[in-house]
Chain A
Amino acid sequence: MVARFLADDALTRQAETWARDYRLLAPVREGQAVVYRTWAPDMRPFLGRPPTASAKQALLPQTENLLTYTYRKEPTDLTRTEVFLAEPLPPEPTVVLGARPCDARAGKLLDRVFLERGVKDELYARRRAATLFVTVACESMENTCFCHWTGGGPTSEEGSDVMLFPVSGGYVARAITEAGEKLLAALPEAPAATMEELAGILAHLPEPGPAPDLRQAPERFLKLFDDMDFWTDESARCLSCGVCTYLCPTCSCFNITDEDWGLKGKRVRTWDTCMSALYTLEGSGHNPRSARAQRLRNRVGHKFCYHPREFPGETGGQPEVSCTGCGRCIKSCPVSVDIRRIVRDILEKGEGK
């Protein structure tokens, strides 16, 4: 597929064009954060750095309607009620502009849970099929980035429909899928000089540095499972705020609650966090993960032990882990908990166990 050119000053116009046919989620600056917002007139997309929040809301909205219910009182006997249920509306076709390769790759990991684990979640499946990713390749890696640990990289195309490569004056836009090709139909072909510049940039991408071998992580995690001194130490700073899980592109745990408005209402799914003590609190008062150390252990364990055990497979010598190395949990943690350090500690201290 031909490489096209998206000039900086054509970006907003292009976004407007997409927004006519799709629900467009675009990153915009709000204060110091860069967040995805549904397109609105006068919005200026900002692609200058990775968004603060991941793009998972496109596939797994923060709040999503699962069903609506309506009670009707029987006119002849008001103590009797009937209830009627209705399916949620189908999702709108969506384009996510400005995702990063680590975000686009997360879709595969969400698919594992919602499409492949057992019961296929048709609500997710419909949203997944209706969503396109226009991804911006990363020119450099921030010091919290570790996509190369997880089989990804700054220019990984996995999960993207279009890749945008930053060059002078704009982006080289390359379609990865046919749906992506349609998004780019109106753009001019990239000039030869621009393609030469891009080749130079791609030839001199920064070296990401060594990545630890994660193949031993599941076994070593389990060896350390009962070592509460280890987990108490690793979680000593953690506040259980859950920001790591909310910003994570692959954390997919959710809650289901009813929102009641008298005789009608809806059942919604909302993002939940295993970092909260309430997450596992049972009606009896029993809580299998009452301690912070147990909860941090679950988050790290899920990503680097339980997921690879459930979905065995390797890419580039690394097991598939439920993490794309986006580093948001490190960057936004108020107390600087660093999952890379925890994983390295597991690999090191679990070895001799």
Chain B
Amino acid sequence: MTGNPYMPQLATIVETFDETPDIKTFRVVLLDPEAMAKFTFLPGQVAQLSAFGSGESTFVINSPPTRMDSLQFTVMRVGELTHRLHTLKAGDPVGLRGPLGNHFDVEGMKGRDIVFIGGGVGMAPLRTLLLYMLDNRADYGDITLIYGGRSPEHLCYKAELAEWTARGDMRVELTVDNPDKDWKGRVGVVPTVLTELGTSAKNAVAVTCGPPIMIRFTIQALEKLGFTDEQIVTTLERRMKCGVGLCGRCNIGDKFVCVDGPVFTQAQLRGLPQEF
């Protein structure tokens, strides 16, 4: 039968990395090389990862479509499925359904300055967009990344953070709540750093993802800097099952985060019933 929307494609884990004590990154490739060659997506789209016997859950594809040697996912260990995923290693099979959902407006952002504001594992959806932009560097204006975590060890993609800092064609500001003795970055919460930098809203787009409390204060800080609702982009997290708009649970009014999201502008969110 074709058309079973719940049937995943089989994939193999090719590499895993520990990002933080409870966050792990997986690189996977589809088992069928032809399907892998045909797999296309845009930054911000998600996929369902399956560990058969434990279930499946939604994760953003955090590698960019410009680097298709594998598909990368970053998983925080919080529940039954993510505990199981954390036990998997290179060579193990998983299921993958995707790409699902909408994506960042990479066309509309061309020619504009981009401010990434991330917290913790919220760096994952920013990573795919940031790498996409770095791979198409001439299409975008100034790029700034403000990224924070509880402590230095709670920051994801540490090697890449160092690379990005060294590149010279983007600005990287790292901040932690609890520094250790070797920490050379900033100390404090992300919205404060944003305010201190005084980032200009002129011809800029802010893309933010992180814990709800960080997003709330980040949006307040952005508004003070003059960012309009259309200039603020975020991704929403909801419990999802089907990923294709049928099972019902990720609805906000008559919209479904799995189909109409996960990427929303602040202007779009203001137009929805306030239930998220």
Contact in complex: B239, A280 (CB < 8 Å): yes
Contact in complex: B93, A272 (CB < 8 Å): no
Contact in complex: A85, B8 (CB < 8 Å): yes
B6 interfacial by beta-carbon distance below 8 Å: yes
Shortest distance from the beta carbon of A109 to any chain B beta carbon, whole Å? 13
Query: What chain A residues lie within 8 Å of B52 (beta carbons)?
Result: 69, 71, 83, 85, 258, 260, 265, 267
Contact in complex: B5, A119 (CB < 8 Å): yes
User: Chain A, interface size: which category?
Assistant: 35 or more
Near B by CB (< 8 A), chain A positions 90-112 give 90
Shortest distance from the beta carbon of A59 to any chain B beta carbon, whole Å? 13
Q: With the chains together, A274 CA to B244 CA distance in Å?
A: 18
Query: What chain B residues lie within 8 Å of A282 (beta carbons)?
Result: 237-239
Contact in complex: A226, B244 (CB < 8 Å): no
Contact in complex: B5, A288 (CB < 8 Å): no
Contact in complex: A118, B259 (CB < 8 Å): yes
Q: With the chains together, A180 CA to B245 CA distance in Å?
A: 33
- On whether A302 and B241 interact (CB within 8 A), knowing A80-B91, A288-B276, the answer reads no
B267 interfacial by beta-carbon distance below 8 Å: no
Query: What chain B residues lie within 8 Å of A80 (beta carbons)?
Result: 91
Contact in complex: B56, A256 (CB < 8 Å): yes
Chain B: CB-nearest residue to A84: B10
Contact in complex: A117, B273 (CB < 8 Å): no
Contact in complex: A125, B3 (CB < 8 Å): yes
Contact in complex: A85, B253 (CB < 8 Å): no
User: Which of B53, B212, B237, B254 contacts A258 (CB under 8 A)?
Assistant: B53
Contact in complex: B248, A274 (CB < 8 Å): yes
- On whether A114 and B246 interact (CB within 8 A), knowing A258-B52, A283-B82, the answer reads yes
- On whether A119 and B4 interact (CB within 8 A), knowing A80-B91, A288-B275, A306-B254, the answer reads no
Contact in complex: B242, A272 (CB < 8 Å): no
Q: With the chains together, A119 CA to B100 CA distance in Å?
A: 11
Produce 1/0 per residue, B54-97, CB < 8 A to A: 11110000000000000000001011001000000001110100
Contact in complex: A306, B3 (CB < 8 Å): no
Query: What chain B residues lie within 8 Å of A83 (beta carbons)?
Result: 10, 52, 93, 95
Q: With the chains together, A80 CA to B251 CA distance in Å?
A: 39
Produce 1/0 per residue, A249-270, CB < 8 A to B: 0001111111010000101010
Query: What chain A residues lie within 8 Å of B1 (beta carbons)?
Result: 87, 90, 122, 126
Q: With the chains together, A120 CA to B93 CA distance in Å?
A: 27
Query: What chain A residues lie within 8 Å of B95 (beta carbons)?
Result: 83, 85
Chain A: CB-nearest residue to B252: A288
Query: What chain B residues lie within 8 Å of A22 (beta carbons)?
Result: none
Chain A: CB-nearest residue to B248: A253
A66 interfacial by beta-carbon distance below 8 Å: yes
A229 interfacial by beta-carbon distance below 8 Å: no
Query: What chain A residues lie within 8 Å of B239 (beta carbons)?
Result: 279-283
Contact in complex: B4, A306 (CB < 8 Å): no
- On whether A122 and B273 interact (CB within 8 A), knowing A272-B249, A281-B239, the answer reads no
Q: With the chains together, A288 CA to B274 CA distance in Å?
A: 10
Contact in complex: A253, B249 (CB < 8 Å): yes
Shortest distance from the beta carbon of B75 to any chain A beta carbon, whole Å? 10
Contact in complex: A272, B245 (CB < 8 Å): no
Chain B: CB-nearest residue to A87: B1
Chain A: CB-nearest residue to B276: A288
User: Which of A85, A118, A286 contacts B10 (CB under 8 A)?
Assistant: A85
User: Which of B3, B93, B241 contacts A256 (CB under 8 A)?
Assistant: B241
Q: With the chains together, A226 CA to B254 CA distance in Å?
A: 16
Query: What chain A residues lie within 8 Å of B254 (beta carbons)?
Result: 305-307, 309-310
Q: With the chains together, A247 CA to B246 CA distance in Å?
A: 19
Q: With the chains together, A225 CA to B276 CA distance in Å?
A: 13
Q: With the chains together, A80 CA to B211 CA distance in Å?
A: 37
Shortest distance from the beta carbon of B90 to any chain A beta carbon, whole Å? 10
A301 interfacial by beta-carbon distance below 8 Å: yes
Contact in complex: A254, B6 (CB < 8 Å): no
Shortest distance from the beta carbon of A330 to any chain B beta carbon, whole Å? 22
Chain A: CB-nearest residue to B121: A284
Produce 1/0 per residue, A109-134, CB < 8 A to B: 00001100111111101100000000
Shortest distance from the beta carbon of B177 to any chain A beta carbon, whole Å? 18
Using A90-B1, A253-B247 as known contacts, list a sample of 6 further A-B pairs with CB atoms less than 8 Å apart, ordered by residue number in A.
A71-B53, A121-B246, A225-B275, A258-B54, A267-B6, A284-B211
Q: Which 8 A-B pairs have the closest CB atoms?
A: A122-B3, A253-B248, A260-B53, A306-B254, A283-B78, A119-B244, A69-B52, A66-B6
Residues of A bordering B, CB below 8 Å: 66-67, 69, 71, 80-83, 85, 87-88, 90, 113-114, 117-123, 125-126, 222, 225-226, 252-258, 260, 265, 267, 269, 272, 274, 279-284, 286, 288-289, 294, 298, 301-302, 305-307, 309-310
List, sorted by A's number, 18 A–B pairs whose CB atoms are closer than 8 Å.
A67-B4, A69-B53, A82-B93, A83-B93, A87-B7, A88-B4, A113-B246, A117-B245, A123-B4, A123-B6, A125-B3, A225-B275, A265-B53, A282-B238, A283-B239, A284-B211, A288-B276, A310-B254
